[in-house]
Amino acid sequence: MPEDATLEALRETARRFAESEVAPRAAELDETEAFPVDIYRALARLGLLGITVPEAMGGAEAGVLAYAVVMEELSRGYASIADQVGLVELLATLLSEHGTERQRDEFLAPLLRYDRSCAYALTEAEAGSDLAALKTTALRDGDGWRLSGTKMWIHMAPRADFAAVLARTDPAAGHRGMSIFLVDLHAPGVERLRAEHKMGQRASPVGGLRFEDVRLPAEALLGPEGRGFHMMMSVLDKGRIGIAALALGILQRALEESIAYAKQRVQFGRPIAEQQAIRFLIADMAKDAHATRLMVRDAALRMDAGRKATLEASMAKCFASDAAVARTADAVQIHGGTGYIRGVTVERLYRDAKITQIYEGTNQIQRVIMARELLG
């Protein structure tokens, strides 16, 4: 874990970038659903991609707490940007921990420069929370593989250059029969399905991928055969801490917007900040933001110390995302009719918050995990 001074310097770098380069473009990106490659390449130059990846592999080697700090600050600017940084972090972690030298040269190095973009292809029409229902297969073909199946609601599917695809390599082996493959999404047999139009985080493209007998070389296999499910699960604690920090960034921005609006909006001859009903809403927003920040820090510090953090990561993700949805709704309420208008920041924050209760494991699944960890 970095020293406090280093961590604060990293926070300041991310905050300055979010305020100068991200927040001013958030409304436009939300409206147009444009994908700002220039922002991600600038983040790469600042060393804000691959925060936990070893320096020797091109990352910052700064730890999970540092990753959470960067996610929070970028999300204050616009959650879609933090969302993409989180995706890069998960793929970079898989590649740094399980990739061969050749795979790291071909995929990890250009990803951290953002010369190539990635997707994380798990979900299918009948396999979301229930990955045991996975149907995509990769069958041996000489010294390589043949990949067939369809993935749905995949972040970056409409434009990614490559994907880490979870597929069955032994249909009879359950979770132990799944493997991960690094797939060039420009290869013959790969079809990009419809790009979806989302409620929020609209500059993070989502869509489907269809693989029709796609020929993969032997070196496309990431890590050991049959360990794909376990490898994917191994990065989810870090991913959930990242989403908790992203939700915190949304909540923090909603709090700041609400305080500023309450001080300048006058009703009945005085600012609405003097009304007890408004003061209580803002107090609850600040309380939840502080509690979330402490939960994120606790979970991140556990991971940085090499301790198991499954319970704490699920708690942080669940609490943070529930709080973000509830308190951005309060922010809209504080803004009154103004808050319901497209283009007003809190209206976008409300829409951006909702998905945090769904991705990286729904909050219902988080409660299942928490109960399992507590009760066995």
The residues annotated as belonging to the active site are: 360
Encoded amino acid at 59, one letter: G
Least Cα distance to 97 among 128, 57, 132 occurs for 57
Element (H, E) at 179: strand 178-184
Q: How far apart are the first and last CA of the chain?
A: 31
- What separation in angstroms does the CA of 201 have from each of 24, 30, 189, 360? 15, 7, 30, 15
Burial class (CB in 10 A: 0-12, 13-18, 19+), 181: buried
Residue 196 makes CB contacts below 8 A (sequence gap 6+) with 153, 206, 207
| Cα gap 83→245, rounded to integer Å | 10
Amino acid 196 reads E
Beta-ladder partners of 183: 163
**CA–CA separation, 325 and 311 (whole Å):** 21
